[in-house]
A and B are shown apart, each in its own frame.
Chain A
């Protein structure tokens, strides 16, 4: 499990070079207290020169806080402990201070201006200028050099907004290089990237390492961590749990997970009695064209069935059309010229808009819960009932008492950790937010649940809970269709897996047949 997936060549495992023992960065007994909360408690971190150091931990473990202390977002004096950088005690008062020393953070949400060109973005705030007048030839020359370094084959004048996320990520790295980076910190760099873009990014990290750049990578994707990291520091509940050295002993994912959650996760996927009943959900001859480019066919002649009590997976690379398939089925929320037939319990279902699809018994949990799944500034209660308001209303008038009962019921059933259902969902952790989204859809009493990346950005402990919920649903006889980029998750959860590539299903594997290798080979041999 977790073997790196590569198309073609790629990089071999990091060659064990003589570990250089000089430390570039040492954070000693860092303690950071917020009113009422100790976010970091005596955290230690040692990063050697020229290594790739991974920091792992559940959401809320304190990784981001630690990085904010390091970069001066929390200025010196607002925390206890020492930062030794390059052998001297460093006291950063702002990001500017830390950047001046070559410490550069690339955040999960990219900080690029989409309407400006690559060149303009690279030197934003750091323009190649004299007396305020920009030297464009020089800017373009340096941009080209930097783009070459990161292996991005684009013209410096290209608008950043026209690049994919993967390429934008590379622009960010080029920007870091333009500032003479010595310690590059990447926060979840591959979270939004496709498999191949992720591989390219990791390759680049290894290449930068060869050129002497030290990096810290924060990641949930343990297979990637295992692939590139020289050492791993695991943080749990604001304390350092362990520091593992890849050159001293092989690092296993199970070991990292164990340290992250503080218990053995021998069973990462809960057991489920597998029994499939009659066919509940059936899609046939499904074709979809691109909403703007009418000549581009996005979904090609797809047929799919899901039985009662079955969890069916859809595997595929990012961009293979999985989300587009789900959205087009769910009330034609994507695409145009949609043709094909959807049946629920053998009866033809009208899915021409979202409310009809919901009425037909279909629920769709989006991959992007923050921007598509939730109203962040509203309460748990109001989010829970949103898709089925008539069920808590009498002739259009909402019965708030009934609504609260419903929200409380789901809070208990889903074990949503919150002081009350009147809490705004923006204040919840990722896992709890996802439980609210699931509550919302369960309240519509669906026959079929389409789950798109149901565990994205959720920490390991909460993932297990989400898996348990999925199993409960299938035990109740619902049909579940699960889209995921994490293959181990599909293998661990599904009874059957469809493999999708370039808008079409290229294979179907039963749980017994499916392995990561077989899925990948179906995709690449197409």
Chain B
């Protein structure tokens, strides 16, 4: 065997072993390319890319919390209802009672935290299965939002509130088109990504941890950087960076950091991996479970506000069945239903896969009936792929 085939085999074996990590990202890119072609270029038009972010922001934000809940070995079925309820509450506070945005937003967030705490209390301290507690919550808050809105839609909202989701970061450089601020942010983001990648590589090399072949590292980062710059370029040709995109990116970075680099995150994985062992290692598992639900409530409230702000109205149907999209995103992203595994980046990419498919199929005019069927099959395929891979390796 000559050297080049040996090397090629090495890369093939590596790719096979890490199929899941690359597969997800490449699946997203492949899906985007596919819809870009079949929609004859509509998918990646600047206005549609902007829309993609606006449409999916609330799912991604909730997926961050859901990932932690699922990693901890639980589930939250109530997030869609809570999101709708918080949106309704915000509408009532601002429109019916005439309260200011600066009072409404913090109050609504607090309500979300309280809801999360209430559900977490029963799950963590009374050991009632989260499936049941949050199923109850789903019904309760669905009903409460209907009651709050009395079956009506309430809107429109003050300008400051709408800015939560439909606002854009102005171009500080004054060029406008293309939006130089957006481009600069993109370049910085790419630079940071590559720098962090190199740092991890250096560390892995130092400790002799198996790492991806150099060619892989270059190609993978090249593709990510190119995709990122492409999207940014398109955005800069429209209205620049949406506010929501910034909050989404900031939240994603924060949660990725918490889950991967802090003792808190590590303990959540331990809790989901083996609760008894975690407890006997001095981890306060009950409190930790409680906190993941509080956090979920916080993010559901935030998502509710962003969702209401985008539609500029609170409707009784807001958030209906959204919990399923959120949960699907987390599972497509590689989390295990039994807890202990899953990554924030995976959940975000999973949410984008769902989002791009929703968007692309809507552009094509595919009926909601087929859309549901296709989304369901994608979820099943993603999880099957996981299980299949695991079995082949094990």
Which residues of A are interface residues toward B (Cβ below 8 A)? Answer: 330-331, 333, 353-355, 357-358, 364, 366, 371-378, 382, 386-387, 389-390, 393, 396-398, 400-401, 404, 408, 420, 422, 440
CB distance from A366 to the nearest CB of B (A): 6
Check A372/B276 contact, CB under 8 A, given A354-B281, A386-B281, A420-B208. Answer: yes
- Which of chain B's residues have a CB closer than 8 A to the CB of A331? 280, 282
Closest to B279 in A: A354
Q: Would A393 and B340 be within 8 Å (CB), given that A355-B282, A371-B276, A386-B270 are in contact?
A: no
Q: Which of B203, B210, B273, B282 has the most CB of A within 10 A?
A: B282
The answer to the question of B127 belonging to the interface, with a C-beta cut-off of 8 Å to chain A, is no
Q: Are A396 and B264 in touch, CB under 8 angstroms?
A: yes
Q: Are A330 and B280 touching (Cβ within 8 A)?
A: yes
Residues of B within 8 A of A386 (CB): 266, 270, 278, 281, 283
Given A397-B261, A398-B262: A389 in contact with B278 (beta carbons within 8 A): no
Contacts A378-B269, A389-B263, A398-B263 hold; do A333 and B207 have CB atoms under 8 A apart?
Answer: no
Additional pairs, 11, CB under 8 Å, beyond known A358-B282, A386-B283: A353-B282, A366-B280, A375-B270, A375-B273, A378-B270, A389-B263, A389-B267, A396-B263, A398-B262, A400-B261, A422-B209
B274 on the A face (CB < 8 A)? yes
Task: Name the A residues within 8 Å of B38 (CB-CB).
Answer: none
- B284 on the interface (CB 8 Å rule)? yes
Q: How far is the CB of A383 from chain B (nearest CB, A)?
A: 9
10 residue pairs from A and B, CB less than 8 Å apart? A331-B282, A353-B284, A354-B282, A373-B280, A386-B281, A387-B281, A393-B263, A397-B261, A398-B263, A422-B210
Cβ of A349 to closest chain B Cβ, rounded Å: 14
A-side contacts of B267, CB under 8 Å = 389
Q: Please name the 6 residue pairs, one residue from A and one from B, whose CB atoms are nearest each other, closest first.
A: A375-B273, A355-B282, A387-B281, A389-B263, A354-B282, A375-B274
**Closest chain A CB from B17 CB (angstroms):** 13
Of the candidates B203, B207, B263, B277, which one forms a contact with A390 in the assembled complex, judged by CB atoms under 8 Å apart? B263
Rounded to whole Å, the gap between the CB of A324 and the closest CB of chain B is 14
Is B119 part of the contact surface with A, judged by Cβ < 8 Å? no
Partner of A372, one of B273, B280, B283: B280
- Assess the A420–B209 pair: CB atoms within 8 A: yes
For B261, what are the chain A residues with a Cβ–Cβ distance below 8 Å?
397-398, 400
Q: Of residues B206, B207, B267, B277, which shows the largest number of chain A Cβ atoms within 10 Å of its Cβ?
A: B277
CA distance A398 to B269 in the complex (A): 14
| Closest Cβ–Cβ distance, residue A129 to chain B (whole Å) | 34
State whether the Cβ of B359 lies closer than 8 Å to any Cβ in chain A: no
> A377–B264 Cα gap in the complex (Å)?
18
Q: Is the CB of B282 within 8 A of A375?
A: no
Determine if B134 is an interface residue (Cβ-Cβ < 8 Å).
Answer: no
- In the bound complex, do residue B266 and residue A372 qualify as a contact, i.e. CB atoms below 8 Å apart? no
Return A268 CB to nearest CB of chain B, in Å: 30
A378 to B340, CA, bound (A): 9
Query: Which of chain B's residues have a CB closer than 8 A to the CB of A373?
Result: 277, 280
Please name the residue on chain B nearest to A422 by beta carbon.
B209
1/0 contact string of B352-391 vs chain A (CB within 8 Å)? 0000000000000000000000000000000000000000
From A371, A396, A398, A420, give the contact of B274 (CB < 8 A).
Answer: A371
Q: What chain A residues lie within 8 Å of B273 (beta carbons)?
A: 375-378
Which residues of chain A are near B277, meaning CB under 8 Å? Answer: 371-375
Interface residues of B (CB under 8 A from A): 203, 206-210, 261-264, 266-267, 269-270, 273-274, 276-284, 340-341
CB distance from A342 to the nearest CB of B (A): 16
- Docked Cα-Cα span, A440 to B278, in Å, equals 12
Q: Which residue of A lies closest to B338 (CB)?
A: A377
Taken together as a complex, chains A and B put the C-alpha atoms of A366 and B277 apart, in Å, by 9
Q: Which residue of B is nearest A392, CB measured?
A: B263
For residue B339, which residue of chain A has the nearest CB?
A377
Do B262 and A374 touch (CB < 8 A)? no
With A and B bound together, what is the CA distance between A375 and B273 in angstroms?
6
Q: Is the CB of B276 within 8 A of A440?
A: no
A25 and B229 alpha carbons, distance in the complex (Å): 70
CB distance from A283 to the nearest CB of B (A): 19
Q: List B contacts of A420 (CB < 8 A).
A: 208-210
Chain A residues near B282: list those with CB within 8 A.
331, 353-355, 357-358, 387
Q: How far is the CA of A382 from the CA of B278 in the complex (A)?
A: 12
**Docked CA distance A375–B268 (Å):** 12
Q: What residues of chain A lie closer than 8 Å to B264, measured between beta carbons?
A: 396
Residues in chain A near residue B276, CB distance under 8 A: 371-372
Interface centre among B210, B262, B281 (most CB of A within 10 A): B281
State in angstroms the CA–CA spacing of A439 and B330 once bound together: 34
What are the residues of chain B within 8 A of A376 when measuring CB–CB?
Answer: 273-274
Q: Is there an interface contact between A397 and B280, defined as CB atoms closer than 8 Å? A: no
Report Cα–Cα, A397/B281, bound state, in Å. 19
Q: Assess whether A355 is in contact with B340, with CB atoms less than 8 Å apart.
A: no
A377 touches B262 (CB 8 A): no
Q: Which residues of A contact B207 (CB under 8 A)?
A: 401, 404, 408
A440 to B284: give the CA distance in the assembly, Å: 17
> In the complex, A377 Cα to B279 Cα: how many Å?
16
> In the assembled complex, how far is the CB of residue A404 from the closest CB belonging to chain B, in whole angstroms?
5
- Given the complex of chains A and B, what is the CA–CA distance between A404 and B269 in angstroms? 18
- Chain B CB count within 10 A is highest, among A382, A389, A401, A422, for A389
- Complex CA gap A265/B382 in Å reads 53
Closest to B341 in A: A377
- Least Cβ distance of A311 to chain B in Å? 22
Chain A: minimal CB distance from B209 (Å): 6
**A174–chain B nearest beta-carbon distance, Å:** 32
Shortest CB distance B99–A (Å): 36
Q: Which residues of A contact B274 (CB under 8 A)?
A: 371, 374-376
Assuming the contacts A389-B267, A398-B262, A400-B203, asked whether A333 and B340 have C-beta atoms less than 8 A apart, the reply is no
Complex Cα spacing A330 to B276, Å? 14
What distance in Å separates the Cβ of A516 from its nearest Cβ neighbour in chain B?
Answer: 31
Q: How far apart are the CA atoms of A372 and B279 in the complex, in Å?
A: 9
Residue among B279, B284, B341 with the highest chain A CB neighbour number at 10 A: B279
A408 to B208, CA, bound (A): 11
Residue of B with least CB distance to A385: B266
Are A440 and B203 closer than 8 Å at their CB atoms?
A: no
**Do B340 and A389 touch (CB < 8 A)?**
no
Contacts A401-B203, A404-B207, A420-B208; A375 near B262 (Cβ below 8 A):
no
Chain B positions within 8 Å of A387 at CB level: 281-282
Which A residues touch B279, using CB under 8 A?
Answer: 333, 354
Does A364 contact B280, Cβ atoms closer than 8 Å? yes
A450 to B155, CA, bound (A): 65
- Alpha-carbon distance A217/B168, docked complex (angstroms): 74
- Most chain A CB within a 10 A radius of its CB, from B207, B262, B276: B207
B264, closest chain A residue (CB):
A396
A398 to B261, CA, bound (A): 5
- Cα distance, A364 to B206, chains bound together (Å): 34
